[in-house]
Amino acid sequence: MTVIDPCTHCGKSTAFGFGRFINRVPSGTNHYVEDENSNVIYKEGEYREGYACEECLAIDCDRCGDPIPLDEDCSLDEWGEQRAHYECLTAEEKAKHDKENGDE
Ligand SMILES: [Zn+2]
Ligand SMILES: [Zn+2]
């Protein structure tokens, strides 16, 4: 079976009608990927270009561990290496975040 526009991260289709079409983002990568049954989807170093689905782009929250929807992550440090949901921030961090994003 040929997958149309497979996600470069999970191999699932990002084509229209598959639920991953919306919010797919152009992506090129070459890291190793396997599916739930340990079948190799992409070999290590196998470069593919296409789209990544929203699920794969979601960053895990450093506070609760759940994935954070695109554009809703908040940096916990100035380098943005640690991310959390807005709801997972402390009151102090929320205030800081609001201040930094106040002029958007
Ligand atoms: Zn994906
Ligand atoms: Zn969270």
Q: CB of 41 within 8 A of CB of 10?
A: yes
CA 16 to ligand 1 center in whole angstroms = 14
CA 90 to ligand 2 center in whole angstroms = 11
* 3-class DSSP assignment, residue 94: helix
CA 82 to ligand 1 center in whole angstroms = 21
Which residue positions in the chain have pLDDT lower than 50? none
For the chain, what are the domain ranges?
Answer: 1-57, 59-100
Query: Which ligand has its closest atom nearest to the C-alpha of 66?
Result: 2
Query: Which ligand has its closest atom nearest to the C-alpha of 8?
Result: 1
